[in-house]
Amino acid sequence: MAENPNSRPVITTESSPYLECGNSSTGTPWYDKESVQNVSEYLIFVEVILGLLVWALIASTEYFRFSPFGWVMFVTVFYWLLTLFLLIIKLARGQIRHIPWTKVVLIFNCTAALFYTSAAVVEATLVNQGVKGHHDFNCWAASTFFAFLVSLSYAGSAFFSYKTWHRGDE
């Protein structure tokens, strides 16, 4: 059988669920489940490390002379312990069957972002209580910077938790 020189081969492709919301001209997905889970896991490590820095810097000063630092210390230590607990659960791949983990993690990250932001704002207003150049002032300024970074990382975790929850992964 002779081929028709004017005919062109037809190439068919299978539709990918990643291309539905992605950039169809390049074929790259804008959202990949595995990479998002990796980012979420890295953010937990960032939250633990920076959270430890925040409360360790505050604890090394005479924070107890200013009562609003009690709120800051409560938020930083409380969420650091809970984040550490969440990290241990994730590393152990533990799953308790009757708990909706995606919803629990979403609520946790949203409240952590909200409370950590409030603690960072309180701490930023208290930095001026220290004498510039002294130990307390330097530690409070550094702690304020790290508190805002932790707030951003919790907000990022909340975003990725929302994406996971919205997708319905359990």
At 88-122, the pLDDT tens digits run 887 776 666 677 778 888 999 999 999 999 999 99
Residue 21: inside a domain, yes or no? no
pTM: 0.72
Residues spanned by the domain of 158: 44-167
127: pLDDT strictly greater than 90: no
Contact call for residues 58 and 49 (beta carbons, < 8 A): no
Residue 35: inside a domain, yes or no? no
- CA distances, 24 to each of 15, 17, 28, 99 (Å): 11, 11, 7, 37
167: pLDDT strictly greater than 70: yes
Residue 80: inside a domain, yes or no? yes
Residue 4: inside a domain, yes or no? no
Residue 24: inside a domain, yes or no? no
28: pLDDT strictly greater than 60: no
Contact call for residues 158 and 113 (beta carbons, < 8 A): yes
Residue 104: inside a domain, yes or no? yes
Count of domains for the chain:
1
In our burial notation (b when 16+ CB lie closer than 10 A, e otherwise), range 102-123 reads beebbebbbebbebbbebbebb
* DSSP result, the chain: -PPPTT----------GGGTTSBTTTTB-S--HHHHHHHHHHHHHHHHHHHHHHHHHHHTTTGGGSTHHHHHHHHHHHHHHHHHHHHHHHHTT---TTS-HHHHHHHHHHHHHHHHHHHHHHHHHHGGGSPTTSHHHHHHHHHHHHHHHHHHHHHHHHHHHHHHHHHT--
Residue 33: inside a domain, yes or no? no
* Nearest C-alpha neighbor of 166 from the set 19, 8, 6, 21: 21
Residue 61: inside a domain, yes or no? yes
